[in-house]
Amino acid sequence: MRRAAAVLLLVMAVLTAGCATVSLLQTVESLIQQAKELLDAKRYDEALAKLFEALRRDPTQWKAYLYAAQAYIGKRDWTGALTNARKALELAPAEATVVATLGDSLFGGGLDALERGAFADAGRHFVEYIKLRPADPAGYLNAGRAYLGGRNWGEAGRVLVEGLGRTTDSATRVEFARTLLDGGRHAVTAGEHRGAVALLRQYVRVEPGDVAAYLELGKAYWNAGDRSDALAAFRRVLELAPQNEEARRFLLGR
């Protein structure tokens, strides 16, 4: 009888613990579902409160981190979005929604950093974004802008050319070309002539008929001490515009 009673008590204890676990899980799932409904209604702070409670009870719930990241995106809090999206990815690396949310967090955070002039942060965000979405030209374009802002002319040219090679859309190609040209002119203004060469050389490959750009490239070569390349650029100017006096003066020894 004593053995039977002991076994009965053990079974009851196990059942009680199991029921408590099921009840807790149901409560956590309920909190996450409530948070999702609040998120859909754009009540971000209320959704986050539910998600924080769910994670306090069970910190392995990847959906809670996912929805928290999405709530922070809604609030334009990119630090919170990235922190939670990365945690969701750690727990559920194969979930497409998690990967997409991390991409959205990186892109939004990168744009925010660009607007604030935090070019190093912007560059890191967009480089990571490119790894997630290598077919999206916008990642390359904005990474290029971040590098230009930080006066990293070589990396700017490299990433812009790579992005340019990934798009066939004419309007997007024009935007890439304009960014290369603007970057080259910015480098000229900054007195960094080799940086200007790196960008303008890529630009004229895209727009081989731009006389003004060839002239600027020639002067950038000249000021960088690359006289033979400078003269080749000035000859190209005269091929396109035979009456260009500035290029003619350089070719005649100024």
* Sequence spans of domains, the chain: 40-133, 165-254
Give residue-wise pLDDT tens across range 189-215: 999 999 999 999 999 999 999 999 999
In the predicted model, what is the mean pLDDT of the chain? Answer: 91
The fold of 165-254 is: 1.25.40
pLDDT of residue 149: 96
pLDDT of residue 166: 92
Low-confidence ranges of the chain (pLDDT < 70): 1-26, 254
At residue 26, the pLDDT reads 63
pLDDT for res 2: 57
| pLDDT at residue number 184 | 97
Determine the pLDDT at residue 1: 52
Q: pLDDT tens across 161-187, in order?
A: 999 999 999 999 999 999 999 999 999
Q: What's the pLDDT score for residue 253?
A: 78
For residue 7, the model assigns a pLDDT of 41
Quote the CATH superfamily of domain 40-133. Tetratricopeptide repeat domain (1.25.40.10)
Same fold, 40-133 and 165-254: yes
pLDDT at 9: 46
Half-sphere exposure of 137 (CA within 13 A, CB side): 18
| Neighbour-count burial for 84-110, b at 16+ CB within 10 Å, e otherwise | bbbbbbebbeeeeebbebbbbbbbbbb
Cα separation, 230 vs 86, whole angstroms: 49
User: Using an 8 Å Cβ cutoff, are 25 and 58 in contact?
Assistant: yes
pTM for this one? 0.85
Confidence at residue 254, expressed as pLDDT on a 0 to 100 scale: 63
